[in-house]
Structure 1
Amino acid sequence: MLRSLPACFLVLALAFLARSSPVGNADQIPLLAADDSLGAVDYRNGELPPTENTEGWVDPRLNGGRFIDFTTRRLGEPLNIVISALSDPWVLEEPGFLEYSQSIGFAGECMGLHYGNIHNADLGDGLGRKGEHLLIRQHYFPVIGTCWESVRGGHHFRAWKQNGTLANSGAWFIGASKEKDSSNNHRIDEDGYNLGRDFFVERAIAGSHWQGKWWRAEIEWREGLMPRGRRGINHGIAVDGRVAILTVKRL
Structure 2
Amino acid sequence: MHPLLIFVALAVNALPITEVLRAQGSVDYFDPRERGGSLLDNSAGLGEPLNVIISGKSSPQLLTPSGFLDYAQAIGFSDGCLGINSSGRQQANLGDGRGLVDEMGVFRQSFGIPGLGSCLEVLTGGNHFRVWKQDGPDANSGALFLAVSQEENLAHKHTIAPDGYNIGRCVFLLLPSMKGFIHFSDKFVEVAKSLKRYTTTIQDITNLLEPGSQGVNHGISQDGIVKLLTITVS
> Shorter-chain TM-score: which interval?
0.7 to 0.9
CA contact (8 A) 1:85 1:170 kept: yes
Partner of 2:97: 126
Over 3 Å counting, the alpha-carbon distance change for 1:204 and 1:222 in structure 2 is farther
Shift of 1:204: 4.6
Counterpart check, 1:216 vs 2:199: yes
Secondary structure class of the residue paired with 1:79: coil
1:226 to 193, 209, 217: 209
Secondary structure class of the residue paired with 2:82: helix
Partner of 1:61: 33
CA contact (8 A) 2:82 2:115 kept: no
TM-score when normalising by structure 1? 0.75
- Distance (whole Å) between structure 1 residues aligned to residue 74 and residue 62 of structure 2: 11
- Distance (whole Å) between structure 1 residues aligned to residue 115 and residue 216 of structure 2: 34
TM-score when normalising by structure 2? 0.81
Counterpart check, 1:98 vs 2:65: no
2:164 to 189, 192, 211: 192
2:223 to 228, 240, 246: 240
CA contact (8 A) 2:95 2:138 kept: yes
Secondary structure class of the residue paired with 1:245: strand
Letter in 2 for 1:116: S
- Distance (whole Å) between structure 1 residues aligned to residue 153 and residue 206 of structure 2: 31
For structure 2, the 5+ residue unaligned runs are 1-20, 183-188
Question: Sequence identity of aligned pairs in percent?
Answer: 40
CA contact (8 A) 1:65 1:124 kept: yes
Secondary structure class of the residue paired with 1:160: strand
The structure whose Rg is larger is 1
Shift of 1:103: 1.1
Secondary structure class of the residue paired with 2:123: helix
Partner of 1:71: 43
- Distance (whole Å) between structure 2 residues aligned to residue 174 and residue 225 of structure 1: 14
Shift of 1:113: 1.6
Counterpart check, 1:207 vs 2:181: yes
- Distance (whole Å) between structure 2 residues aligned to residue 113 and residue 143 of structure 1: 10
Shift of 1:183: 0.7
Note the aligned Cα RMSD (angstroms). Answer: 1.5
